[in-house]
Chains A and B, each alone.
Chain A
Amino acid sequence: MPSHTKSDSKTKDQPLEKPCAEPEMHEVSRSVPRLESRSKVDGSAEYIYNLRIPGMLYGKIFRSSVPHGRIVRIDTSAALAFEGVEAVITGEDIRAMIPNPYYGPAFHDQPILALDKVRYVGEPVAVVLASDPQIAEEAADLIEVEYEDLEAVFNEVEAAKPGAPIIHDFLKPAGTFTDLKHLKGRSGTNIALDAKVCRGDVEKGFAESDQVFEHVFRTGKVTHVPMEPIVTLAEMTGPNRVTIHTTSQSPSFVRSEVSRVLGWPENRVRVRTALLGGGFGAKLYIKLEVLVAALALLVRRPVKIALTMEEQFYTITKHAATVRMKTGVKKDGTIVAREVETWWNGGAYADIGPRVTQKSGFTAAGPYDIENLKLDAYACYTNEPPAGALRGFGIPQVVWAYECQSDIIAHALGIDPLEFRRRNVLTEGRPHATGTPIYNARLTDVLDQVAEKMQWSRPFDHGSGTIRRGRGIGIGIKACISPTTSGAILNIYSDGSCGIYCSTVDMGQGSDTAMSQIAAEVLGLKTEDMFVVHPDTDVTPYDMATLGSRSTYHMGNAVLLAAKDARAQLLQFAATEMGVDAAELSCRDGAVVAPSGAELTFGDVMATHFKMQSGNIVGVGSFTPPFVMANHETGQSPDITPFWMPGGAGAEIEVDTQTGKIRVTKLVNSADVGRALNPAIVKGQLIGAAVMQLGFSLFEEMLFDGGQVVNASLADYKIPGILDMPDEITADLVEVPHERAPFGAKGVGESGTFGVSPAIANALFDAVGVRIMELPLTPEKVLRAIRKAENRPLENE
């Protein structure tokens, strides 16, 4: 089925906006193959993983074996004596060079290598350096550490209770975020951030409700598993500069943070990336960069550390979350009041967890129009590996709760689940829980598209015997992170060809291609002829990071401005040469065209202006959207986000009632994307996100024993393979161009994750009448639930 376009999108409540793009567009909305396609199919694509530098040392990290303990003694003598080992570095060696060796985007809580104590199993304690990676690995096994065990806490709700073992003596918020300042120096707590939203009077709302529902939902801890592991290589370049080659989604942040930790100005630190073999949030903020830079400084040799797959499980994860959701409704299905408490299992170091807590916290009531709200979210330290951003930034965890509960309520009231959502969903102009009006976010259209693709109004065959069938839906909304900044440069070279300089990292999402499409559209060039200079902080301007579906909107606007700036300069040069007014000129097919039909190619313009083939035109663009910080006590803001991302999914499943195994037979996805700059890539993003969430829904879960991850390998932690694909998987787009977005295009990287898990769980209820409150929906959990419902529970129940 063709996707909806602006001409056939349903907009019942409001007329269509004027399309913000020019009438005839050649490059935007075209499914251009990724610009780097050839290098990806012939094996030559550049990844930092490939990089080797003469004379470099390989580092192998020795990791903590206890979840919480005071370091009594570290004995590195045997490792150091091992033939071929160049150095063994501990936290104290780092502290001798860097007096305050702690880093982190929200809290300066993470030591470069463990100092004084360890806070989770797998925490880096020492590094062995050798020219041969196998020697480094073997020698690392010879390090001995004695710990004095401390009491540990693993569950997020337990960690938040008074009397829980304290993981950090004092909270140390980073200066980056002014709204965390009130937490500075707070002690005796594992709650790194408490975020709240209040609207109306929730108690009054419950009192006025006909029925009140209260449930606790949970999602387990999962992890990113990018196929290219996290890799960093650092080298001294000159006596007082360091160059860091790294698989980072946030090169600008890495430069700032390495500079801060070293006490150097930013112009002495260079950070560059290449293509990333997947990111999904794993490669954000600081991962190995500060450590590897410190090692290179200590030994004055290039140092490379590449994590193994196992080590990625110790490095960054997605928050497990507990969500208590209490909802009051009228008999007709109107939601009157909602109270949500969410506990986020942030692990031992905050990473960006407090931001996840806050951003997901304020959307925890869902995409619904509710008068009375009270939302509380707690970022909790625990003795597990750190948790950060993972495709959705906490949204899938809260959607899991509110969309499962939507279904529970609808069934209890005898209302069709689709109709229940339609009745409550936020429409254009209505205030979100934060008070910010919903703007350019067609939730109803997304819901309609899912319903249409599911043929919701038609009868459904629920199967018989041991294979039962069911179907369910789920929708969610995310607010793009704000305020953030992106800068871009558009350089027209002396022959008229162009380079785009931006620090957005292409990790497979197709940003190089999208930015090229935007610039090419402005300049009247072919996308295929554009070149994107990959992030290099010596060369490319600042960008907050490639995360949270922000790049198309933010960097897209910066590139748009840079291209317009370059075009204006080019037209001015051409106007002088052609003797016409610049306003009369346009760009088409690589030439400046006058109303008379006279043309000058870009190269001709440069050559005539600079008297020979030489020179540059440098267009610059910088974009920061407006933003109003939320009130700390109420969470209210008139402008909390530059754009909203609605996403929905519908699932049809088969359940084997003898084994509990769920097979998803059909998975439909829909999102309001504003405008798809590149429809094929956009649909690929939605489906890819849905496939990832399918894994988190059905089988992915990090399992722990006393804080030790026991399934840290792809042998024991299964990610979706080709045999897990639904028979039918689709992506449909709601395209109503966003007025402030580049050619109307919003971010799309995460929207496909939102609805998948509850859609499957709701289908499970439809099929066999059982509810499971905690992800993932493993065969064992499903079978236990089925047997319990049949009053013949399995053993150990």
Chain B
Amino acid sequence: MSEIQRRTIHFTLNGRAVSAEVASNDTLVEVLQRDFQLTGARESCGQGLCGCCTVLIDQIAVSGCLALAALVDGKEVITVEGLADHGSLHRIQESFIAKSGFQCGFCTPGFELMTKQLLERFPHPTDDEIRHYLSGNLCRCGTYSDIVEAVKYAAKEVTEVNA
């Protein structure tokens, strides 16, 4: 095996300053699961194609199965566990429940984080914008039409809150 180096990284995880000792080949998903017991980001395809491992690094959605943990040193990481505020669900989470935007739930955290990024950039997305934005997330249960409804419902609530 090629030389594995270990180092300590410091980053912000869901608003809290944290540190972890990571190997140079550790992925972010592995570190989140192993060192922080955060199970919302999950590896499925292992190639950055399904979106189950989506996390936000400095507000940008990335595939946590391809992101090396060592590279989040000094950055801000938000996972699905960081969406709720003191136990009260984020409007996106509430919308996914209200519109049945999931079945098995394995892909759901990824969809929610992509939706967060979508609504920050397009507060009033069209159906096409929603579809294109979420086209990198896969749901084998086939709940896409409910997911689109959930996103629209979340967007409507944003608008109402802003108004």
Query: Chain B's nearest CB lies how many Å from the CB of A713?
Result: 6
B92 closest partner in A (C-beta): A41
Query: Chain B's nearest CB lies how many Å from the CB of A530?
Result: 18
Contact in complex: A41, B102 (CB < 8 Å): yes
Contact in complex: B135, A723 (CB < 8 Å): yes
Contact in complex: B97, A33 (CB < 8 Å): yes
Q: A277-B104, A509-B103, A680-B100 are in contact. Are A720 and B142 (CB under 8 A)?
A: yes
* Per-position binary interface string of chain A over residues 252-284, scored 1 when its CB falls under 8 Å from any chain B CB and 0 otherwise: 000000000000000000000001111110000
Contact in complex: A689, B105 (CB < 8 Å): no
Name the interface residues of B78-100: CB closer than 8 Å to any CB of A: 79-81, 83-84, 89, 93-94, 96-98, 100
Residues on A with C-beta less than 8 A from B139 are: 227, 722
The interface size of chain B toward A, counting residues with CB under 8 Å, comes to 54
Q: A684-B103, A725-B144 are in contact. Are A43 and B45 (CB under 8 A)?
A: no
The interface size of chain A toward B, counting residues with CB under 8 Å, comes to 58
Residues on B with C-beta less than 8 A from A722 are: 130-131, 134-135, 137, 139, 144, 147-148
B138 interfacial by beta-carbon distance below 8 Å: yes
Query: Chain B's nearest CB lies how many Å from the CB of A224?
Result: 8
Contact in complex: A277, B148 (CB < 8 Å): no
Residues on B with C-beta less than 8 A from A501 are: none
Q: A41-B89, A228-B106, A715-B49 are in contact. Are A690 and B142 (CB under 8 A)?
A: yes
Query: Chain B's nearest CB lies how many Å from the CB of A536?
Result: 20
One of B5-13, B36-44, B66-74, B155-163 at the interface: B36-44
* Per-position binary interface string of chain A over residues 720-733, scored 1 when its CB falls under 8 Å from any chain B CB and 0 otherwise: 11110100010000
One of A44-52, A155-163, A419-427 at the interface: A44-52
Contact in complex: A725, B145 (CB < 8 Å): yes
Q: How far is the CA of A468 from the CA of B89 in the complex (A)?
A: 47
Q: How far is the CA of A760 from the CA of B160 in the complex (A)?
A: 41
Q: A37-B97, A681-B100 are in contact. Are A687 and B108 (CB under 8 A)?
A: no
Name the interface residues of A81-135: CB closer than 8 Å to any CB of B: 82-83, 134-135
A216 interfacial by beta-carbon distance below 8 Å: no
A201 interfacial by beta-carbon distance below 8 Å: no
A308 interfacial by beta-carbon distance below 8 Å: yes
Query: Chain A's nearest CB lies how many Å from the CB of B108?
Result: 5
Q: How far is the CA of A338 from the CA of B146 in the complex (A)?
A: 41
* Per-position binary interface string of chain A over residues 688-710, scored 1 when its CB falls under 8 Å from any chain B CB and 0 otherwise: 11111000000000000000000
Q: A228-B106, A308-B46 are in contact. Are A42 and B135 (CB under 8 A)?
A: no
Q: A227-B139, A714-B49, A723-B135 are in contact. Are A45 and B100 (CB under 8 A)?
A: no
A-B contact pairs, 9 of them (CB 8 A): A41-B94, A42-B83, A49-B42, A228-B42, A229-B44, A508-B104, A687-B143, A719-B138, A722-B131
Task: Give the interface of B toward A (CB within 8 A).
Answer: 1, 25, 33-34, 38-42, 44-47, 49-50, 52, 79-81, 83-84, 89, 93-94, 96-98, 100, 102-109, 112, 130-132, 134-135, 137-148
Given A134-B1, A715-B49, 7 other A-B residues pairs in contact with their CB atoms under 8 A: A41-B94, A42-B84, A47-B106, A49-B42, A135-B1, A227-B106, A227-B107
Task: Give the interface of A toward B (CB within 8 A).
Answer: 33-34, 36-45, 47, 49-50, 52, 82-83, 134-135, 138, 224-229, 275-280, 308-309, 507-510, 680-681, 684, 687-692, 713-715, 719-723, 725, 729
